[in-house]
Amino acid sequence: MEFVTQHPVLVVSLIKIAIALFVVMTALAYLTWFERKVVARIQSRWGPYWVGPHGLLQPLADGIKFLFKEDVVPPTADKVAYLLAPFLALALALTTLALVPIGPATISILGQPTQLVISHSPIALILLFAISSVGVYGVMLAGWSSNSKYPLLGGLRSSAQMISYEVSLTLSVVGVLLLAGSFDFYDIVGHQAGHWFHFLPSWEIFPQFLGFICYLTAAIAETNRVPFDLPEGETELVAGFHTEYSSFKFAMFFMAEYGNMITVSCLATLLFLGGWLSPFPDRWSWQLYLPGAGLIIGGLALIVGGLRSVQWNAKAVFPVLGLVCIGVGYLCTLHGATHPVAKAVQGPFWFISKVFLLLFFYVWARGTLPRFRYDQLMSFGWKFLLPLSLINLVGTSIFVVLGWHP
Amino acid sequence: MASSVLTVPESRTMVLNMGPQHPSTHGVLRVILELDGEIVLKAEPVIGYLHTGIEKNFEKLTYSQCIPLTDRMDYLANLSNNLGFCLAVEKLADIEVPKRAQYIRVLLTEFSRIASHLVWLGTHAIDLGAMSVFLYCFREREEMLKILEAISGQRMMTSYFRIGGLALEPPPGYLEWISKFLDTFAGHLAEYEDLLTENPIWKLRTQGVGVLKLEDGIAMAVSGPSLRGSGSDYDLRKYFPYSSYEEFDFKVATQTAGDVYARYQVRLEEMRQSAKICRQAIDRIPSQGPFRAEVRGLVPPSREEMKTSIEGLIYHFKIWTEGITPPPGEVYQAIESPRGEIGFYVCSDGSNRPYRVKVRAPSFVNLQALPRLVIGKLIADVVASIGTIDIVLGEVDR
C-alpha cells in the first residue's frame, strides 16, 4: 500500500494497462468471430458453429492452434528483421489504444482518482498518428525479410499503399482539429457536445461530412481491408507480406490487423461521431436507462434464443450468459439513473456502440465489394481522395478564418 | 545460415512462378511470369500437372466404358462431354436417337451449362475479391447438383448419356423440379448482377482488361464465350446443330468489346438463354416413350425385353460383355460445351474398342490466348484473365 501511495501513477497505469490488454485481446479475438458470423450471414451460411455454442469458443481454438503449429522460418530469411516484424506490428497496434479514452467519467482505482484512458496526453492525436505510421515498418520488414517473391510484392504494395493513404487519413482529420482547436481527445469530444435545433447532435460528422468519408475510406485502406486488401490479396499474392509466416507470428499479424481496425474505428468515433456523447439531448432523461435496458433486453434474447437452440451447449450456456447480462443491466438501473455507476456506464456504452457500428461497416464492406487493382488503388488515393481531403481542409479553414464555424 | 536479402539482381526483371499451387490458377496451372515491378513482360502457361492419359486410356476400353472417362475431363460440364462422345459414336454407328432422349439431352446439357457458368462466375468473382458472389453461386449449384443426382444417381460424374440414348428412365417429377429451380433462378441471377454488373470496382477491374481481338481469337482457334465476347457469333448449336438444337428458339449472346467485362456479360446472357432452352425442352419432352434407340447389337435392349425375350437377353449379354462394334471409319463430332467447341475424333477399326480418340478440348485451345491477354498488364490482371477464359485443368491436360 505504501508503494501505491509513493508511485500512484505507475501502479494505477499498470492496472489500467492490464485491464485494457485483457479487454482488447478478448475484443480482438471476438472481432474475428463477429466478422466470420456476419460475413457468413451475408453469404447465407452458418460460420463457426461447432466449437462452443454457435462457435463462441472458436477464437480460443484458433489461438491454441496457432500456438501449437510448427514455427517455420525460411532458411533464406533475414532473421532479425523477420522476427522483429510481427512484434513491431502487434506492439504498435496495441500501443495506439493507450491513447484512446472511452468515457468522460473519473473512476477510482486503489483510492486514486483516474480517467478512463491509459495515457491522457494533450497531443494525443499527433502521438497516435506518429505511432501508427511506424506500423508500416512491420509490414515492410515482413515483406522484405522473408526473401521470397510473393511477400516482397505484398510488402511493396502495402508500404506504397499505407504511406499514400496515411496522407489522406491525416489531412481528413485536420478539419476537425481546426474546428475543435485542440489535439486532446477530451477537448475534441467536448467541442462536439450540445445539439443543433435541439435534436441534431452537434457532432463533427455533420459539418465535416466530406472529411468523414475521406477518413473512412483512407482508414479501410490503411488497415488493408476489402476493397483495399491488396497487400494480402489472397487470390493474387497468396497471402501477401505474411506468406512466409506461420504459427503464432502469423497470428500476431492477424491480431495487429484487427487491432488497427479497432484503433481507426475508435478514432473515427472520437473525431466525428461525438465519442462517448449520447445522440439524444440531455433533457430526455430516459436515455440514461438505455445501457441497462439494452443489457436486459439482450439478456432476455439470449435466454430465449438459447433455450430454443438445438445445440445442447447453447441451451446450457446462453441462458446463463443472459442471466449475467440481466443482472448487470439491473445493477445499471438499480438506483435510478442518477446513481454514480449508472452515470459512469453512459460514456463507455455510447462509445462502444459507435465503435461497434463502424466495425460492422467494415465487415459489411468485406462481404460485398470486389478488390481494387494496385494502380487503381494508387490513383484513387492520390488523384481522388487526396484532393477531396484538401478541398475539405481549405473549405474548413476559410470557414474558421471567417468565424462561421459552429 | 548467413545470407543477405540485399542481393543485387542481375537484371531489372523478376521471374515469378504463379502456380501450380496458387489460389487462383483454377487447379494446377502454372504460369511463369516475367515481371518488371508488377508489370507482366512475359507469360508462359505450363501445363501437364493434371495429365491423366484419358485419351490413351480410351484405346483400352470398350465404347461404353469410355463414357465415365469423358466425365473426368471437364468435370464442371461433364454432360457436354458425355454428349459429344455419344454423338460421335452414334454418328459412326449410324444410330438414330429417339426424340424424347434428344430433348432430355438438350435439357440436361443446358442445365449443366448453367451449373458450369455458375462455378465460373463464382470463382471469377472471388478471384477479383467479391467473396459473397462465390458462395451465392455455389448455393444455387448445390440445388442443381441435387437435381442431377436425383436424375442420374451422381452429383458430378453423371455419365448419364449413353450411346443410343440415356442411361435410365428419369425419375418422376424431375421436370417439375427443374422448372421450379428455373423459376427462382432468374431472381438469383439478378442478385449476382446487383452485386457486380454496375459495381464501379467490378467495372474498373474488368473493363479494358484482357482484351482479345477478334482476329487474334480466330487465329488461335479460341471458341465459346471467350470468342463471342470479341464479336463473333460462332456457336455450334446454331452453326452445326446437333441433338435437335435447330428446333429450339434462343439467341447467341455476343459482345464486341472483347474484354473481361464483355465475356462476363456474354456468360450471364448465356445462362439466361440456357434457362430459356430448358423451359422449351421441358414443354417438349413427352412423358412417355423410349429413352434409348432400339438398334439390335449396338444399344442395350430395354430391361423388359431383356427379361422376357431370349433374343433380348443374348444382346444384353453380348453388349455388356464384349461391347459394341461400330463399323470401321472415322468421325469428328463437335458440340458447344460451356467452354467452347469440344470435339471428339473417334477412329474405329471395327473392333470393340476405339482405335484412337482425340479430344479437341476448348480449355486447352483457349488457354493459349492467355499470354496475349496479359502482356503489359499487372499481376492482378493475370488473375482476372485466367478467370475469364474459364479453363478446367482436367480438360487441358486430359
Q: How far apart are CA B224 and CA A229, in angstroms?
A: 33
Q: Is the pLDDT of residue B16 over 70?
A: yes
Q: Domain of A114? A: 62-277+334-402
Contact yes or no for B357/B59 (Cβ under 8 A): yes
pLDDT tops 60 at residue B203: yes
pLDDT, mean over chain A: 82
User: A353 in a domain, yes or no?
Assistant: yes
Q: Given A229, A230, A238, which is nearest B23 (Cβ)?
A: A238
- pLDDT bin (cut points 50, 70, 90) of residue A232 is low
Put simply, the answer to whether A153 touches B128 (Cβ < 8 Å) is no
Q: How many other C-beta atoms can be found within 10 angstroms of the C-beta atom of residue B3? A: 12
Best mutation target among A78, A235, A366 (most B Cβ atoms within 10 Å) is A235
Say whether B1 and A366 touch across the interface (CB within 8 A): no
Is A328 a member of any domain?
Answer: no
User: What is the structure's pLDDT at B3?
Assistant: 44
Q: Are B110 and B103 in contact (CB under 8 A)?
A: no
Q: What is the nearest CA distance from A366 to chain B, expressed in angstroms?
A: 8
- B205–A76 CB contact, under 8 Å: no
Alpha carbons A209 and A140: distance in angstroms, whole number: 33
pTM for the whole structure: 0.84
> Nearest Cβ partner of B380 from A45, A78, A373?
A373
Instruction: Say whether pLDDT at B109 is over 60.
Output: yes
Share of chain A above pLDDT 90, in %: 0
pLDDT in tens, B317-336: 888 888 888 889 899 999 99
Do residues A212 and A396 lie in contact, with contact meaning Cβ atoms separated by under 8 Å? no
**Would you say residue A325 lies in a domain?**
no
Taking the CA of residue B92 and the nearest CA in chain A, the distance in Å comes to 45
Confidence of residue B77 (pLDDT cuts 50, 70, 90): confident
Q: What is the pLDDT of residues A134-192, one digit of tens each?
A: 888 888 888 888 888 888 888 888 888 888 888 888 888 888 888 888 888 888 888 88
Is-contact B340 B324, C-beta < 8 A?
Answer: no
Name the pLDDT band for A336 (thresholds 50, 70, 90). low
Nearest to A368 among B127, B195, B383 (CB): B195
Return the pLDDT at B274: 92
Mean pLDDT of B198-214: 87
The pLDDT assigned to A11 comes to: 80
Q: What is the pLDDT of residues A14-57, one digit of tens each?
A: 888 888 888 888 888 888 888 888 888 888 888 888 887 778 88
Mean pLDDT confidence for A363-373: 83
Q: B296 CA to chain A: closest CA distance, Å?
A: 52
- Residues 366-405 on A with a CB inside 8 Å of B are 366-376
Higher pLDDT residue, B85 or A311? B85
Residue B1 is predicted with a pLDDT of 39
Instruction: Supply the pLDDT for residue A101.
Output: 84
Average pLDDT over residues A311-326: 82
One-letter amino acid at B25 equals T
A285 pLDDT exceeds 60? yes
CA of B22 vs chain A CAs: smallest distance (Å): 7
For B142, residues 6+ apart whose C-beta sits below 8 A from its C-beta are none
Q: What is the pLDDT of residue B7?
A: 52
User: In chain B, what are the domains?
Assistant: 54-397 (1.10.645.10)
The pLDDT value recorded for residue B2 is 43
B126–A153 C-beta distance less than 8 A: no
Q: Which single residue is written with the C-alpha cell 439478456?
A: A299
Is B5 close to A153, i.e. CB distance below 8 A?
Answer: no
Evaluate the CA torsion angle A339, A342, A344, A350 in order and state its sign: negative
Torsion of CA A244, A250, A255, A256, to 10 degrees: -40
Assign A234 a pLDDT band (cuts: 50, 70, 90).
Answer: low
Mean pLDDT of A379-399: 87
pLDDT of residue B277: 92
Contact yes or no for B353/B63 (Cβ under 8 A)? yes
> Does the model's ipTM exceed the 0.90 cut?
no
Counted domains in chain A: 1
pLDDT band at B9 (very low <50, low <70, confident <90, very high): low
Nearest residue of A to residue B138, measured between CA atoms: A43
